[in-house]
Structure 1
Amino acid sequence: MKTKSVTLPDATITYVDEGEGNAIILLHGFCGSSGYWEKIIPEISVSNRVIALDLPGHGESSIDKENFSIEDYADILKGFLDQLNIQKVTMFGHSLGGYITLAFAEKYSHYLNGFSLVHSTAYPDSEEAKKGREANADKVKNEGVKSLIDGLVPKLFSPENVEHDYVKTAKEIGYLTSAQGTISALTAMKNRDDRNHVLETTTLPVLLIAGEQDQIIPAEKTFSVSRDNIKQGIINNSGHMSMVENHQDLISEMKEYLSTI
């Protein structure tokens, strides 16, 4: 898949743009890239325009600002959509991408037809998690990104899947993340707000996806709000990375959800 790029005030965003129809935005997680969605894009783009971007400082996207907040990512995403002259989207956010999706839904809901959290949560970091973010930022400063990725990536997958080739691929994607991009994301995640109120008040159709064996964000953290406009789905045989561990079941959930919008 060919990539394109857009230059914005605080970042240059590289992205994949496939298919025609209603616009679907795919946001990857921490130290990921649009490559996380490689198995998803071909099937979803059959009847939709699918745009998968590299977040600032991740993949091939650059970052020109320090001390990012989750709201800053949402603002960049809004600027990105404006550059592409896209006024309505359905947004799927994986992990960090889900935090950004919630911030975007809070600030720019008029851009959305609906949104989905994929292995993500509306809860903020616990105090213990915040200390972990700080320790990881120090690790990147002292040892580099590769050391962090080598320790992080196996935890993203179900214990049954850690020997699979796609774990190595996820590491290689992670190595592309710049030190600045990694530290900025860690800081933004550590300082993010509780956004359960977004789920509690939105009138948009929402899809919440959890992995049966997710060691990073368990299902109860994803399924924090139950309402008639919120659909819940659990992906079996998957940890935090269903888009590669069990992509067919994720695609089925996504297609069913999209058919209702």
Structure 2
Amino acid sequence: METKSATLKNSTITYVDEGEGEPIVLLHGFCGSSAYWTEVIPVMSKNYRVIAPDLPGHGGSTTALKNYSISDIAEMIKEFLDKFNLDKVTMFGHSLGGYITLAFAEKYSATLNGFSLVHSTAFPDSEEAKKGRSANMEKVKHEGIKTLIDGLVPKLFSPNHLKEQYVEAAKQIGYRTPPEGAIHTLSAMRDRPDRNSVLESTSLPVLLIAGEQDQIIPAEKTFSVSKENIKQMVIKDSGHMSMYENSSELIAAIKDFMENM
């Protein structure tokens, strides 16, 4: 997959753009990159145009902004997507990408056909989780990104999958996260507001995806709102990383959502 680059007002975004047709936007999780979607993009790009950016401060993307919020990242994604002159897109956000997707839907719903949270939640961080974010910020400052990634990545996967090669692949992607980007994003995640109101008020088609064995965000945190336009899906034999652990079932869920919106 070829990586391209777009220059924004305060950022440079690297991204993958594959296929033709109705546009799908894939937003990866914390300390990930567009490479998280390596199994998904080749399949979905056979029938759709798939755009997968590296989020600001991740992968090859940079930003001059400091102390940015989740809403600020959503605004950067909007500026990035404006480069493509697309009428509407369908957005799938994994974990951190889901937080950004909700903020995007809150401000720019008119540019969406629908959206999905993949192993993500509309709830804010608990007080305990906020302390953990702050501790990880200090860890990156004093010990570097590798220590953070070595502690984080194994928790993302089901215990059944810890010996799989893709766990190491996720670590290698994480090691390439700029430390400053990780620190600013931890702050943004820690301070994000409750966005269940976005799910409660939207009339757009929504797909909520949870991992059967997710140790980071359990299903009840993902399935926070039940409405006729919100579909709930549990990925079997998967932790927080179904794009690796059970990509075929994740792809099937994405295809079904796109075909039946």
Aligned to 1:61: 61
TM-score, normalised via structure 2 length: 0.99
CA distance in 2, matches of 1:114, 1:181: 28
CA distance in 1, matches of 2:180, 2:25: 24
Structure 1's consecutive aligned runs of 4 or more residues displaced over 4 angstroms after TM superposition are none
TM-score, normalised via structure 1 length: 0.99
Q: Report the 3-state secondary structure (helix = DSSP H, G, I; strand = E; otherwise coil) of the residue aligned with 1:50.
A: strand
**Contact between 1:8 and 1:79, CA under 8 Å: does it hold in 2?**
yes
Aligned to 2:221: 221
Deviation per CA, 1:196-241, whole angstroms, max 9, x where unpaired?
0000010000000000000000000000000000000000010000
Q: Which ranges of structure 1 fall in alignment gaps of 5 or more residues?
A: none
Deviation per CA, 1:6-62, whole angstroms, max 9, x where unpaired?
011221000000000011000000000000000001111111100011001101111
CA distance in 1, matches of 2:190, 2:183: 11
Aligned to 2:48: 48
CA distance in 1, matches of 2:99, 2:186: 12
Deviation per CA, 1:82-110, whole angstroms, max 9, x where unpaired?
11212310000000000000000000001
What is the aligned-residue RMSD (CA, Å)?
A: 0.6
Aligned to 1:135: 135
Q: Report the 3-state secondary structure (helix = DSSP H, G, I; strand = E; otherwise coil) of the residue aligned with 1:259.
A: helix
**Contact between 1:31 and 1:173, CA under 8 Å: does it hold in 2?**
yes
Q: Does 1:253 align with 2:242?
A: no
Aligned to 2:27: 27
Deviation per CA, 1:114-149, whole angstroms, max 9, x where unpaired?
000000000000000000000000000000111100
Q: Report the 3-state secondary structure (helix = DSSP H, G, I; strand = E; otherwise coil) of the residue aligned with 2:173.
A: helix
Q: Report the 3-state secondary structure (helix = DSSP H, G, I; strand = E; otherwise coil) of the residue aligned with 1:108.
A: helix
Aligned to 1:84: 84
Q: Which ranges of structure 2 fall in alignment gaps of 5 or more residues?
A: none
CA distance in 1, matches of 2:226, 2:246: 25
Q: Report the 3-state secondary structure (helix = DSSP H, G, I; strand = E; otherwise coil) of the residue aligned with 2:260.
A: coil
CA distance in 2, matches of 1:90, 1:70: 19
